């Protein structure tokens, strides 16, 4: 396994949808994918350092019906423009993984068209699985062929034909040489001949030992495909289902069982770095799947802290909704721009950024072992640990704060590195921790040597450095207090009376994001009282709003709850 993968946070884009391409290829070159460069600040803000792009090669319709493996789909641009995109991504520390669709091609694939033209005289008859001239195809061709899973617009390749294998590996070589790609996601991997993967692996690893191969596997034993002879990793559909189902059913036993089965001592995949996700281009959006939107916070926390590599599907960091229908997957694959109005769901972005920072900071979250500590229907505690570091993750999906007492050894104090730095003492090898409603704590076990303030400052500096020199992120833009001359700051004053008292200190927003009220203010024009507050994580952006609305209640999924709730109890 390539070490860069263990330390990665992936972002997954379906390019033809992301760019709003026409449904059918009209042959006109449009440089739509160039807009990806404008998204780099947004990716960096979330700590993304690897990008998985769905099909980008020439096709007639949806990208999985390839017509030319050596050419970028003209609806996205051309080879030269795509090379510049890859160079820009690499310059910003972002790896590039492409979709390798090697099980089948489209009916516009040049070799298949040769068979259509020359019939049994075509030299490419042997390129396609079970092609015969003893009948007619569902498209009324004067021959029969095998379509993938009964879809005859997808012509199954004969991967036992060495000429086919050489053609595909030749394309991979070109992608590696011309675009410097870092890996492949192999589509429909369970349908592909194992010998093909063995040849592909030998070629790729000889050329670049850190090249990553990940297969799309939905069912079965992942070790059949991810092993030293074939692929490095596969899609973790078992835990994909377990994460959303555990939250919807309020049954953490399900995901705890899957993670213990897969990754604990003696687990069947403890030596694999599986590809984890909450949604993708083939399944309903997590924003539509979760019954309670408040559970989105913990769903991402589980994915980022469990063994394996986390992946965000484009737009789901804003909890956009989308469900597939019998007729179309288009709702799963929308065109998105950074200025799309998504203000009501922006707040999960800083949470993702914080989780990414924790993975960068603590090796136990990237490569540590796994062990369940405490399991309840609505609460789960597990630990990730190396010989030198222990991280404990405590999750709560009840509607109220919950106290958890669990056994632990090896240290004297826990510090919550996800939240506000709260500390919890270990006594007699037990620790009692309170976890917020629909929230989580990610805690470092130590003996008093950990300095949370320095850690937080270091992370904020690292995040600022990641974004330095980048274009302004148009999706989330707030000015500083200095940009608002009409506001008079007053650092020390009596609390402003609204429905509840507004005080200086830390607050948790309705969706779990953390903020701090840093000043109580008065507008010099009309005397109205205002709040000045900042994000505790992400880039520390500063905001202002009217005091009378700061602690208003909102309706969320049928429940009335405050927009911001005071959580700093050390008055």
Q: Do 43 and 37 meet the contact criterion of CB atoms below 8 Å apart? A: no
Q: Where are the domains of the chain?
A: 3-103+160-366, 104-158, 367-454, 481-566
CA 548 to chain centre: 37
CA angle 452, 455, 461 (to 5 degrees): 140
Quote the pLDDT of residue 1. Answer: 52
Give the E-state strand segments of 146-211 in sequence order. Answer: 147-148, 151-156, 183-186
d(CA 167, CA 159): 11
Instruction: Count other C-beta atoms under 10 Å from residue 97's C-beta.
Output: 23
Quote the pLDDT of residue 7. Answer: 96
Of 1.10.10.10, 2.30.110.10, 3.20.20.80, 3.60.15.10, the CATH number of 3-103+160-366 is 3.20.20.80
Which CATH fold would you assign to the domain 481-566? SH3 type barrels. (2.30.30)
d(CA 12, CA 280): 8
The set of residues, in sequence order, having a beta carbon less than 8 Å from that of 437 and lying 6+ positions away, is 396, 398, 399, 400, 401, 402
Q: Which helix (H) or strand (E) holds 353?
A: helix 348-361
Quote the pLDDT of residue 2. Answer: 67
Pairing of strands 413-416, 423-427: antiparallel
State the burial class of residue 219 (Cβ atoms within 10 Å of its Cβ: 0-12, 13-18, 19+).
exposed
Map residue 309 onto helix, strand or coil.
strand
And the tokens for 115? 């068979």
Q: Which residue stretches of the chain have pLDDT < 50?
A: 343-344, 469-499, 569-571
Pairing of strands 439-446, 390-396: antiparallel
Q: Does CATH number 2.60.40.1180 belong to domain 367-454?
A: yes
Q: Do 75 and 19 meet the contact criterion of CB atoms below 8 Å apart? A: yes
Give the E-state strand segments of 279-338 in sequence order. Answer: 309-313
Q: Does CATH number 1.10.3470 belong to domain 104-158?
A: no
- Is the pTM higher than 0.75? yes
Nearest to 444 by CA among 404, 403, 393: 393
CA atoms within 13 A on the CB side of 179: 27
Q: Do 417 and 446 meet the contact criterion of CB atoms below 8 Å apart? A: no
């Amino acid at each position: 396994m390539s070490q860069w993968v263990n330390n990665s946070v992936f972002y997954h884009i379906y390019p033809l949808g992301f760019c709003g391409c026409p449904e059918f290829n009209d042959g006109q070159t449009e440089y739509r994918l160039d807009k990806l460069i404008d998204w780099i600040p947004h990716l960096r803000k979330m700590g993304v350092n690897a990008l998985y792009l769905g099909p980008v090669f020439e096709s007639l319709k949806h990208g999985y019906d390839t017509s030319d493996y050596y050419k970028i789909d003209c609806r996205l641009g051309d080879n030269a423009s795509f090379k510049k995109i890859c160079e820009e991504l690499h310059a910003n520390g972002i790896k590039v993984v492409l979709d390798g669709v090697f099980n089948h091609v489209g009916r516009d694939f040049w070799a298949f068209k040769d068979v259509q033209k020359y019939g049994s005289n075509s030299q490419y008859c042997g390129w396609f699985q079970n092609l015969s001239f003893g009948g007619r195809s569902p498209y009324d061709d004067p021959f029969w062929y095998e379509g993938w899973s009964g879809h005859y617009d997808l012509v199954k390749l004969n991967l036992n034909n060495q000429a086919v294998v050489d053609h595909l590996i030749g394309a991979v070589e070109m992608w590696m040489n011309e675009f410097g790609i870092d890996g492949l996601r192999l589509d429909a991997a369970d349908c592909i001949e194992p010998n093909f993967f063995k040849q592909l692996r030998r070629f790729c690893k000889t050329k670049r030992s850190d090249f990553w191969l990940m297969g799309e596997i939905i069912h079965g034993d992942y070790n059949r495909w991810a092993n030293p002879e074939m692929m490095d990793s596969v899609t973790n559909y078992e835990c994909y289902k377990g994460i959303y189902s555990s939250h919807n059913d309020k049954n953490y036993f399900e995901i705890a069982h899957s993670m213990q089965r897969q990754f604990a001592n003696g687990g069947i995949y403890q030596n694999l770095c599986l590809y984890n996700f909450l949604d993708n281009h083939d399944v309903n959006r997590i924003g539509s799947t979760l019954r309670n939107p408040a559970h989105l916070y913990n769903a991402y926390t589980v994915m980022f802290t469990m063994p394996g590599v986390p992946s965000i599907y484009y737009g789901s960091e804003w909890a956009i909704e989308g469900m597939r229908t019998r007729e179309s997957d288009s709702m799963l694959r929308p065109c998105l721009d950074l200025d799309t109005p998504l203000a009501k769901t922006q707040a999960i972005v800083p949470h993702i950024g914080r989780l990414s920072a924790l993975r960068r900071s603590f090796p136990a979250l990237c490569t540590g072992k796994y062990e369940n500590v405490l399991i309840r229907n609505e609460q789960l505690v597990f630990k990730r640990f190396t010989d030198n570091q222990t991280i404990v993750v405590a999750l709560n999906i009840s509607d109220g704060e919950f106290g958890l007492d669990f056994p632990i050894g090896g240290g004297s104090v826990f510090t919550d590195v996800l939240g506000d730095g709260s500390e919890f003492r270990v006594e007699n090898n037990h620790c009692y921790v309170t976890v917020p409603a629909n929230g989580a704590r990610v805690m470092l076990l130590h003996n008093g040597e950990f300095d949370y303030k320095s850690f937080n400052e270091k992370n904020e500096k690292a995040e600022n450095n990641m974004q330095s020199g980048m274009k302004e992120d148009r999706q989330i833009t707030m000015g500083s207090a200095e940009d608002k001359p009409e506001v008079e700051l007053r650092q020390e004053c009596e609390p402003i009376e609204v429905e509840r008292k507004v005080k200086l200190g830390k607050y948790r927003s309705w969706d779990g994001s953390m903020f701090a009220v840093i000043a109580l203010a008065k507008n010099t024009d009309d005397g109205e009282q205002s709040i000045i507050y900042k994000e505790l994580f992400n880039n520390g952006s500063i905001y202002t709003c009217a005091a009378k609305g700061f602690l208003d209640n909102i309706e969320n999924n049928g429940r009335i709850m405050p927009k911001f709730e005071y959580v700093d109890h050390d008055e």
